[in-house]
Each structure stands twice: as structure tokens, then as C-alpha cells.
């Protein structure tokens, strides 16, 4: 793996800014392979060096992966002049690393949002060719029926000519309002809402539950986030 500067490696844990790392190094509180680090600019291979700060050994990664439980009312853009974005929910350290959301959720959609500075993984997760399933829980007005599932499976053409790949629709409850799970392998603009609206079942609530192997941690309340575990990251890379 390519070598990275010590301050970047340590800042990628999201716990200290690069400026704070420089201070820690200056104060002799950073050890690399058991020796006090001389400079924050020295380059190391994250996979083969052992770095400790204040006596605690760190798990180092080249890139940072954050799981956020996106709440409704927040944009999943990186910048917005008018409203809050998902980046405002993170720490200043994570913002400085330059993580960005992998795909978008609508302002009123809740649920799993991955943020990373790993452009290659982000691209792979979003590419329809890679067949990464995204699963959504939706509540709709109207009674969902087996014909709706068949239409999803066949691949729908929406009113404006938008062609959708075959998708999954599992009915959880059917009545005046219904609940379902929708599985997509692509992410066109407002896709779940548009597909269900095309079946005459407008969405009243939408939440993303998973993306490939990555499932929303149900201990995270809306607005909370955490770094991915090493196991989650390894599975996602596969
Ligand atoms: N489909 C939608 O309609 N909205 C989202 O936020 C995500 C998928």
C-alpha cells in the first residue's frame, strides 16, 4: 500500500485534526513502531506500521468510512447555502478529512448513509454494473398487491420514459396504508418514490436500511454516526 504522512494517517481515525496531530508529535506523545515520532510529515505504510497516541495503539486506515443514520430534514449534499447538510452532523475532524456521501438520499428520507474519502469504493457501490443492492423500507398510501411486485420485478418504465432495472418489492403489510421493502440496484433520482407513485401508491415515509453488505446499525439514533468496523469495511470492499 502507498505510504501516507503520519498526520494524515492519524487524522483518518477522525479523532484528531492534522493540526492536533502535529502538536501531539511535538509533545512526543506519538509512537511509531515503539519509537517517538520525529515529525508529522514522515510517511508510513498504514498496513505495516504500529502507531500509538498517548499509549493507545490505533487502528489505521488509508481511508475513512462513516456510517450515518441520516435524519429527515437534512440534505445529503456536501454544501448548501440555505440548509443543514449531513456534513454538519459530523465532527470537524471528519469534515476536514474530506469525506463525502456515497449517493444521495432525499431531504425527507432517513436511514443509512455511508460517507467516505475513498472515491473508488464510492463509485463501485453506486455503479449499476456492480449490482450492489440498496434496501429501503417504505410506507405508502393505498393497498399494495402482488401485481405491484410483478411490475417491479419486470422492470418498470416511468411516465417520463425513465427505464428502471428489475427491482424487488416485498409487501410487509397491506391495507389503506401499506408497508414494504424495496430493493434497488441503481439509484436514480427519487427512484423509490417514483416507482411506487407510478403504481398509484405514493410514499409517505422512506428509510434506507442497507447498501450491499452494510446494514444500518439500529443502535444509532437519527443524526448519530460511527466509523465502520474493520469487518464491515472488509465485507464492503469485497
Ligand atoms: N429513492 C427515493 O425516492 N428517495 C431516496 O431518498 C432514495 C431512493
pLDDT tens digit string along 162-207? 899 999 999 999 999 999 999 999 888 999 999 999 999 999 999 9
pLDDT of residue 238: 82
Q: Is the pLDDT of residue 89 over 70?
A: yes
Residues 6 or more apart whose CB falls under 8 angstroms from that of 149 comprise 169, 170, 171
Indicate which residue of 45, 88, 106, 218 is catalytic: 106
Mean pLDDT of 63-68: 94
Q: Could you confirm whether 7 is annotated as catalytic?
A: no
Residues with CB under 6 A from ligand 1: 105-106, 109, 190-193, 206
Question: What digits encode the pLDDT tens for the residues 3-44?
Answer: 889 998 998 888 888 899 999 999 999 999 999 999 999 999
- CA-nearest residue, atom 4 of ligand 1: 190
- Per-residue confidence band for 80, with pLDDT thresholds at 50, 70 and 90: low
Tell me if residue 157 falls in helix, strand or coil.
strand
pLDDT of residue 140: 98
Q: Is the pLDDT of residue 83 over 80?
A: no
Question: What digits encode the pLDDT tens for the residues 190-201?
Answer: 999 999 999 999
- Per-residue confidence band for 63, with pLDDT thresholds at 50, 70 and 90: confident
- pLDDT mean across residues, the chain: 92
Cα 219 to Cα 51, 67, 80, 85, 87: the distances in Å are 30, 12, 29, 22, 20
Q: Are 73 and 108 in contact (CB under 8 A)?
A: yes
Tell me the pairing of strands 51-53 and 65-70: unpaired
Tell me if residue 114 falls in helix, strand or coil.
strand
- CA-nearest residue, atom 3 of ligand 1: 190
Q: Is the pLDDT of residue 81 over 80?
A: no
Please, is 214 exposed, middle or buried when counting C-beta atoms within 10 Å of its C-beta (0-12, 13-18, 19+)?
buried
How many angstroms separate the CA atoms of 199 and 80, rounded? 33
Cα 23 to Cα 19, 29, 74, 211, 230: the distances in Å are 7, 9, 34, 38, 28
Q: Are 17 and 92 in contact (CB under 8 A)?
A: yes
Helix residue spans in 99-205 (DSSP H): 119-126, 146-154, 191-198
Q: Is the pLDDT of residue 2 over 90?
A: no
User: Backbone phi, then psi, for 153, in 5-degree steps?
Assistant: -65, -30
Mean pLDDT of 139-153: 98
Mean pLDDT of 90-108: 90
Under DSSP, the state recorded for 1 is: -
Distance from the alpha carbon of residue 187 to the mean position of ligand 1, in angstroms: 8
Per cent of the chain over pLDDT 70 is: 99
Distance from the alpha carbon of residue 125 to the mean position of ligand 1, in angstroms: 16
How many angstroms separate the CA atoms of 25 and 7, rounded? 9
Amino acid at each position: 500500500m502507498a505510504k501516507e504522512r503520519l498526520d494524515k494517517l492519524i487524522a483518518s481515525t477522525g479523532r484528531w485534526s492534522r493540526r492536533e496531530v502535529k502538536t501531539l508529535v511535538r509533545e512526543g506523545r506519538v509512537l511509531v513502531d515503539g519509537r517517538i515520532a520525529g515529525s508529522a510529515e514522515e510517511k508510513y505504510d498504514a498496513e505495516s506500521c504500529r502507531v500509538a497516541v498517548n499509549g493507545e495503539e490505533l487502528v489505521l486506515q488509508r481511508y475513512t468510512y462513516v456510517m450515518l443514520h441520516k435524519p429527515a430534514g437534512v440534505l445529503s449534499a456536501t454544501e448548501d447555502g440555505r440548509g443543514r447538510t449531513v456534513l454538519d452532523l459530523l465532527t470537524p475532524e471528519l469534515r476536514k478529512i474530506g469525506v463525502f456521501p456515497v449517493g444521495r438520499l432525499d431531504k425527507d428520507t432517513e436511514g443509512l448513509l455511508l460517507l467516505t474519502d475513498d472515491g473508488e469504493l464510492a463509485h463501485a457501490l453506486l455503479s449499476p454494473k456492480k449490482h450492489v443492492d440498496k434496501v429501503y423500507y417504505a410506507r405508502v398510501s393505498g393497498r399494495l398487491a402482488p401485481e405491484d411486485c410483478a411490475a417491479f420485478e419486470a422492470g418498470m418504465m416511468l411516465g417520463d420514459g425513465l427505464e428502471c432495472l428489475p427491482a424487488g418489492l416485498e409487501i410487509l403489510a397491506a391495507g389503506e396504508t401499506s408497508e414494504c421493502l424495496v430493493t434497488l440496484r441503481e439509484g436514480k433520482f427519487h427512484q423509490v418514490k417514483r416507482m411506487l407513485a407510478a403504481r398509484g401508491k405514493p410514499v409517505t415515509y422512506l428509510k434506507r436500511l442497507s447498501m450491499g453488505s452494510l446494514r444500518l446499525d439500529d443502535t444509532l439514533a437519527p443524526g448519530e454516526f460511527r466509523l465502520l468496523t474493520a469487518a464491515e469495511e472488509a465485507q464492503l470492499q469485497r
